[in-house]
Structure 1
Amino acid sequence: MYKRVIRPLLFSIDPERIHHFTFKMIQLSAKIPGLSAIIRKKFSVNDPNLAKEVFGLKFKNPVGIAAGFDKNALIINELENFGFGFVEIGTVTPKPQIGNPKKRLFRLKKDQGLINRMGFNNDGVDVISKRLKNKSTKLIIGGNIGKNTATPNDVSKPDFIENFEKLHPYVDYFVVNVSCPNVGDTAKLQDRDFLVDLLSTLKSINETKTIQRPILLKIAPDLNNGQLDEIIDIVFSSKIEGVIASNTSVDRSELITSKSELDAIGSGGLSGKPIGEKSTKVIRYLSEKSNKGFVIIGVGGIHSADDAIEKLEAGADLVQLYTGFIYEGPALVRDINKAILKNRK
């Protein structure tokens, strides 16, 4: 029903507008007596065999929603009804910002992908922290953090520290996002020395806390093997817990969408099916070269249960959805969890 009826209706409306409308409908559904229970029954797979402990946290299942979907922690309580095992909010910045000018989100229907140049639009760490403080869900919550666009790269470390300090009481793990292609020049932010210094600083702050939060680095899918070797070195040098592989891509090769359409869309990060294979290759390389030396969360191009299983077999400990969730609908979460159970028998 989703693909035949609901998706065509949703896809007839501007993607950013329908995103906000869908959020309002999800929030409304939680207020209708009995509807949340119906949604949970249809989409949740409650089986203790799905539970998985990763970096000291117990996930009720290994399927999460990636950062960028619920940037502002508006529907984290409701997302649990759809069967997710964890939710990653953000990217969060110290000050609120409106992001890049609209139009900034585009569907590539022929490729089952999206291009976005949102630009870290979010309500800011103070507002988002208050929402997280009042959450009712027991889901694992990740906090994806970045710098404000107006903050120069060479003085951006305080932005990450402020986010880390303010979100620390309310999230279960952190993701440092320096690989987004939609917030200007990120070359400095991906410099090895800068990253080791930033991550080591956050790690040191973390060690002063009563409860310590795992820290991960989100990386681009377009890195070559030499750059991935450097990522492995950065993770080991800074002693963080792992990586998220991967962010959106700037590569436009091998797309079905015509060059004229892509030129009209302009810049932005590509997500969805076109980056699935690339993401899996990154996961496999990191897992094998590091000898499973750190946690990997796999994201990028998961549109089916088989896609998720492939990433887990390549070395991912957990997986996340975003574009696949939009194209395939909420049944995708259920199907992946059922496939994981079947695969374990």
Structure 2
Amino acid sequence: MTPRPVALTCGDPAGIGAEIAVEARAVLGAEVPFFWIGDPRHLPEGTDHSLIAHPTEAGEVRAASLPVLPHAFPALAPPGRPVPANAQAVIDVIARAVALVQDGVASAVCTLPINKKVLKDGAGFAFPGHTEYLAHLAGVEHVVMMLACPELRVVPTTIHIPLSEVPAALTPALLEETIRITAAGLRRDFGLAKPRIVVAGLNPHAGEGGAMGREEITWIAPLIARLTAEGFDLRGPLPPDTMFHRAARAQYDVAICMYHDQALIPIKTVDFDGGVNVTLGLPFIRTSPDHGTAYDIAGRGMANGSSLLAALRMAQEMARARGV
């Protein structure tokens, strides 16, 4: 049976999304069936593309041609110059991709980068980012953002909030739910029967016995002990500054961190170009390249599509694991 294709959203058309989509098609050919949803006018000039009316037609397109499910935008998109008038169409493309997966005609959603401020200014976008909007579309209260590359997987427990708000947002209930969703996602989508999970401390040196903070003693360690007794393979809380060197990384399948930068700095240091953003806890598969719109290099032929290639391949692998 022909595998269902991945739905690739256009993201911000003023960024590098269209460029790396074209690169992905050239590199992958038919290896990973996918189609791009967006306005064909936003593709790089001279792009070999084929318009399709339905995702099922993507597999009939020549390997050298980009399958495009057209979605009209109100304005052109000069590279590097975001156009607020296009904001609502960017949002609508995301919703359309999700609907196609929910309808069973696409295997997964892969999203190209958006600019949250442009969407907020142009269309009143009320979500901190893709992750939260996708949870809204799915009707799911809590999802988990995982960043993954061959050498490392990380999960930030709190995501797109100011650092000053982390202590209030980081609760035992949130950490427990993050651990449970992460473990379930690794079992279902990555074939890990009993994933090895490490949990970072919140404070320097994981509190150093209470000398630098007591959250580790008062509730993080007891929570880990309770879940370990339940059958989870958990270690922690560990000092965050010793968790990410090569020998340490070999001892676990995923590191659960307490806040955004604690998780993202290590993985972007380990593999800046190849990291993939995965949303766990959704009823459908979603991956994304782990970088932004890159307005500064858009349209200049400098974009690196490695992360998108990895995201599309991971989406296909996850779809196989789910049997969709």
Calculate the TM-score normalised by the size of structure 1: 0.32
Q: TM-score, normalised by structure 2?
A: 0.33
Using CA pairs under 8 Å that are at least 6 residues apart, name the structure with larger relative contact order, 1 or 2.
2
